[in-house]
Amino acid sequence: MDRLGEKMVKMDYEVTVYTGDLAFASTCDNIFITLVGTDGERERHKLHKLGPFFHKGDVSTFHVSCSKAIGQLLLIHLVKQSHFWKIKHSWYPAKVVVRSPIGDIFNFPIYHWITDSNVHSFREGKALLASDETNSLAQYERKKELQTRKQVYW
C-alpha cells in the first residue's frame, strides 16, 4: 500500500533488445530505457546483463516493472552511458520489442547508430498517417522526427 492507502499494482513489461549483426554494433556501455505510454511513463530503467555487453547479433530480454499503469505504449527512450569514461563506443540496436502485462506486443524498429549519451526517442512501428495520430505526445514526436530527417537529407 502507498501512503494514501491505495494498493500498489506492479505492472511487469518484457523488453527484448535486438543488437544489430553489423561490424562494431556491440557496446559495453550502460543502456537505459524509459517506457512512455498514454497515461505516463516509467522512470528510466537500466538494462542489466551478466556483464555489461550488448554483443553484435545478441537478443537480450529484460523485465521492467512499473508501479502504476502507463496506458497504451507510445514510445521508448534509449540512453547509452559510457561504462568506461575514456572509451567511446557506438551501439547499433536493430529493434526493441515490448510485451505488456496483458500480452500486447509493441515493436520499435530502431536500425540507428547511437554514439552519444543523449536521450533517443523511438515511436512504435505502427503504420499510421499523420492525420490518424490522435495522441498529442505521439504527434509531437512525429514532428520532431520529421524535422530531424529534413536536417539529415536536405
Say what the pLDDT of residue 133 is: 67
- pLDDT recorded at residue 140: 67
The conformation of residue 91, written as its DSSP 8-state character, comes to B
Work out the widest C-alpha separation in the chain, in whole angstroms.
55
Q: What is the DSSP letter of 69?
A: -
The CATH T-level fold of domain 11-127 is: Lipoxygenase-1 (2.60.60)
Q: Which of 102, 109, 90, 107 is nearest to 28 (CA)?
A: 90
pLDDT by residue for the chain (154 residues), tens only, comes to 444 444 556 789 999 999 999 998 988 888 999 999 888 888 899 998 766 588 899 999 999 988 888 888 889 999 998 876 666 778 999 999 999 999 999 999 999 899 999 999 898 877 666 666 676 666 667 677 767 667 767 7
Q: How many CB atoms are located within 10 Å of the residue 93 CB?
A: 25
| pLDDT given for residue 60 in this prediction | 93
For residue 8, count other CB atoms closer than 10 A to its CB: 8
> What's the pLDDT at 74?
87
Q: Which one-letter DSSP state was computed for residue 8? A: P
Supply 55's cell numbers: 554483443
Candidates 28, 44, 32; CA nearest to 84 is 28
Q: Which residues pair with 54 in a beta bridge?
A: 27
